[in-house]
Structure formats: structure tokens, C-alpha cells
């Protein structure tokens, strides 16, 4: 340590660069610097957490379309969410008859509140004959029969979570179901649920002949997009999904969720900007004489503003990094909440980090607008006589 408890690194060198000057100014007002970085960090954390959780929720919801390893998925047009989509037997048959369609697998997807730890347990109703083409591989035991009652196949993740094996009993849909096999789909969403004979799950939910989704495989050499367009043209009440992005657009709840996230992001940025602006303004008032002095000894407006802005941007960067770290912790904590367990898988992508940085920068620049304008317009004489 150097004199007066200052770290030697900040005290040892007489020579200063502009960056050193920024560091020393921030170091001089440690509490304020920490406060500003914390404000940015909290706003960034809020934005990133919202982003990764909504993205995770969307990914979880969209994962269902990739369970079947189909060329595209068919759902009801305008459905509020995937699970409220209804496709009847006739529509399913008409899809299967369209040119270019090799196979159609209709599945009914429902959720079940198993217990406090599994409040949203995914149940998929599917004919045993469609399991293979749906990409389901039975890794233990055997498939259920086409009309078997009270039989269930458990995904290997669900089996591990519930502590059940072949022969175990799964209490669901108001009845006890025997686990006849354990399956794997290679998709974490699919593997965390259970599969029932289609008629059984339709019966439990009183929707005979209805499926939620139809998974379509096209004949080899046929363009999937062309066939998908054909489906939409022939059955205008249905829509097709080939990618997770298309899924996000088709599911209205996800559209609303995204809108809410966007709104919250703007709000978080504005709140952060107000805090940044307020802190910078306070700093400007406290350091008015200093800025006046710098102007009086020949610093240009631009250089003076650069100093103030540089200090804020450095803190914004620090806040962005802190915010991302915090968002990791918060998102992980949210994912462990009983109400969200199994549904929320925070999706930390490279894009989330860039958005964090962008959020911090936008917030700082908006917040800095007024203080830096004031700093630029500061009269050296008035600033020097400022008390």
C-alpha cells in the first residue's frame, strides 16, 4: 500500500495518461463509483435475467416442436399457446393425404401438476406405432400397447427426477399408471416428460379425436417448405412451424411475453439512465470548480466532457460485467423455484452478453446526456467561482 492507504498502483507513478486520470477520479470517489456501477449492474441484471429467462421459456416451449424430429410441425392457427392448439382427426388425415407428405404423427400434449416439485409435468399422448418415427427410443422395458390403460413410458430425465424405474407407479391424471418403459428422445424437454397411449390421454382430458400438434415428415427429395406451404394453403385453419423462431411467432403467449420483456427492458434502461444521470449530475456539481479549472488551463470542452463520459462509460462497463454475473445467479435461482422447475432453463447466449453491454452503454449515454451538456456549456469563470 502507498501513502494514506492508497494502493501503490495508483500512487507510484507520477506520469498520467487520460485513462489514469479517469481511474484516479473514480478511485477518489469510491462510494459513488461503486454506487453508480451497482445501479448499472442492477439494471443490466434485470434486463439480462428477463432476456435469458424469457428466451429459456421460449426455448422450452419451442423444444416440443423438435421432439418429433420432423421436417415441420403443424399447429392450429392463432392458438394462444401451443398447448391450446387443437387439430381434429379429419384435419390430421387431410394433412397426411397431401402430396409430399411421407408421414404424420399426431400427439396430444398436456401438462399435469404431479406434486410441488413438478408443477408442470409434460404428458404426451402418442400411438405406440408412431414412437419410432417420432424419434422415441425405448431404452428400458417396452412400449405400452395401443389401447393399454394405466400404462406409461417415462422419459429418462423424468424417471431420474421422480426416482421411478420400470414397474414403478406414476400417480397422474387421477389414477395410478405403471411405468412399462423408459425412453430417450435426445431432447431434454421430451425426456423430462411421460408418454401415454393417445386414446388414454385424450380420455383423461375429455378431448377424443383431438391432437395438439402434428409432426410431418416429407418424402425424400421433396422440399419441406413447399409441402408446409401446401398444408397452410389447403388447411388455412392450420399453420406450420419449421424453426424455433417461427414457433415464437405462432405462439401468441410467447409474443406477449416478448412484448412484456421488451417493455420491461425499456423501463429498466430508463430507470438506470435516471440513476446514472442523477449521479453524474451530482458529480458535476461537486466537481464544478475542477472542471472550471481544467477549462481555464486550456482543456477543450470536448476533453472535459470526455473525462466525465469516460468515467461513466468505464463504470457502465464494470456494471455490465457485474450485471451479467448477477443475472447468472438470479436466473439460476429462479430456475430452482418450484413453480418454474423443469420449465425454465435460462438460456445464456453470446447475444445476451452483447445485449448487456449495449444496455449499459445505452443507459449511460441517455443518463449522461444532460450532465455532459451542462459540463460542455460550463463557463470556466463561473465554474471557478462556484462554491
Partner 1 sequence: MSEPSERKLAVDVRGVTRVYPGLVNALAGVDLTVEFGETVAITGPSGCGKSTLLHLLAAIDSPTTGSVTVAGQDLARLRDPSAYRRKEVGLVFQFHNLLPQLSALSNVEVPMFGTHASARQRKARARELLADFDLSGCEHRLPTELSGGERQRVAIARALANAPRILLADEPTGSLDSVSTTRFLELLDRLGGAGMTIVMVTHASDVAAHANRIIEMRDGTIVPSVPVSAAPIAYR
Instruction: Give me 74's grid cell.
Output: 403443424
Among 18, 256, 285, 354, binds partner 1 (CB under 8 A): 18
24 binds partner 1 (CB under 8 A): yes
31 binds partner 1 (CB under 8 A): no
21 binds partner 1 (CB under 8 A): yes
Alpha helices in the chain (DSSP H): 8-11, 18-28, 30-67, 89-97, 156-162, 188-191, 198-204, 224-234, 244-250, 252-286, 288-296, 301-336, 350-376, 380-384
Residue 133: HSE in the Cβ half-sphere, 13 Å Cα cutoff: 18
Instruction: Give me 124's grid cell.
Output: 404426451
- Min dist CB 53 to partner 1, Å, is 42
25 binds partner 1 (CB under 8 A): yes
Region binding partner 1 by CB under 8 A among candidate stretches 21-29, 81-89, 92-100, 268-276: 21-29
Q: Residues 137, 157, 122, CA angle at the centre, nearest 5°? A: 90
- Min dist CB 341 to partner 1, Å, is 50
Residue 376 backbone dihedrals phi, psi, to 5 degrees: -65, -35
Nearest to 154 by CA among 103, 114, 212, 199: 114
Binding to partner 1 by CB under 8 A, coded x per residue (else -) over 185-214, reads ------------------------------
- Min dist CB 30 to partner 1, Å, is 11
Q: Residues 169, 171, 174, CA angle at the centre, nearest 5°? A: 140
283 binds partner 1 (CB under 8 A): no
Among 233, 298, 350, 377, binds partner 1 (CB under 8 A): 298
d(CA 262, CA 268): 10
Among 93, 225, 296, 337, binds partner 1 (CB under 8 A): 296
Sites of contact with partner 1 (CB under 8 A) = 3-4, 11-12, 14-18, 20-21, 24-25, 27-28, 289-290, 293-301, 303, 379-381, 384
Amino acid at each position: 500500500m502507498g501513502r494514506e492507504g492508497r494502493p501503490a498502483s495508483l500512487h507510484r507513478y507520477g506520469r498520467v495518461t487520460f485513462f489514469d486520470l479517469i481511474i484516479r477520479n473514480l478511485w477518489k470517489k469510491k462510494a459513488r463509483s461503486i454506487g453508480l456501477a451497482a445501479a448499472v449492474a442492477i439494471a443490466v441484471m434485470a434486463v439480462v435475467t428477463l432476456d435469458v429467462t424469457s428466451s429459456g421459456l421460449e426455448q422450452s416451449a419451442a423444444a416440443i416442436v423438435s421432439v418429433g424430429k420432423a421436417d415441420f410441425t403443424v399447429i392450429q392457427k392463432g392458438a394462444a399457446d401451443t398447448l391450446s392448439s387443437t387439430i381434429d382427426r379429419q384435419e390430421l388425415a387431410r394433412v397426411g393425404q397431401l402430396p409430399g407428405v411421407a408421414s404424420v404423427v399426431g400427439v396430444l400434449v398436456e401438462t399435469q401438476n404431479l406434486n410441488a416439485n413438478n408443477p408442470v409435468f409434460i404428458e404426451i399422448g402418442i400411438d405406440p406405432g408412431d414412437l419410432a418415427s417420432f424419434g422415441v427410443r425405448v431404452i428400458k422395458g417396452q412400449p405400452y400397447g395401443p389401447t393399454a390403460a394405466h400404462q406409461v413410458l417415462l422419459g429418462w430425465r423424468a424417471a431420474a427426477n421422480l426416482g421411478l424405474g420400470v414397474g414403478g407407479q406414476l400417480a397422474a391424471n387421477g389414477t395410478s399408471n405403471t411405468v412399462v418403459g423408459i425412453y430417450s428422445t435426445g431432447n431434454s424437454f421430451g425426456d423430462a416428460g411421460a408418454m401415454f397411449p393417445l386414446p388414454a390421454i385424450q380420455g383423461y382430458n375429455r378431448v377424443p379425436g383431438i391432437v395438439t400438434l402434428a409432426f410431418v415428415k416429407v418424402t425424400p427429395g421433396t422440399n419441406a417448405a413447399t409441402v408446409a406451404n401446401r398444408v397452410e394453403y389447403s388447411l388455412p385453419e392450420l399453420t406450420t412451424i419449421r424453426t424455433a423462431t417461427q414457433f415464437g411467432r405462432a405462439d401468441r403467449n410467447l409474443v406477449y411475453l416478448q412484448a412484456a420483456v421488451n417493455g420491461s427492458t425499456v423501463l429498466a434502461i430508463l430507470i438506470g439512465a435516471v440513476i446514472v444521470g442523477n449521479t453524474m449530475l451530482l458529480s458535476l456539481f461537486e466537481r464544478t470548480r475542477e472542471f472550471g479549472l481544467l477549462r481555464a488551463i486550456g482543456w477543450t470542452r470536448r476533453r472535459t466532457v470526455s473525462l466525465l463520459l469516460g468515467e461513466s462509460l468505464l463504470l457502465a462497463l464494470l456494471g455490465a460485467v457485474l450485471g451479467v454475473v448477477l443475472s447468472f445467479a438470479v436466473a439460476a435461482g429462479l430456475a430452482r423455484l418450484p413453480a418454474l422447475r423443469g420449465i425454465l432453463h435460462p438460456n445464456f447466449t453470446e447475444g445476451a452478453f452483447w445485449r448487456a453491454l449495449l444496455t449499459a452503454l445505452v443507459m449511460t449515454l441517455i443518463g449522461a446526456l444532460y450532465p455532459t451538456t451542462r459540463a460542455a456549456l460550463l463557463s470556466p469563470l463561473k465554474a471557478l467561482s462556484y462554491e
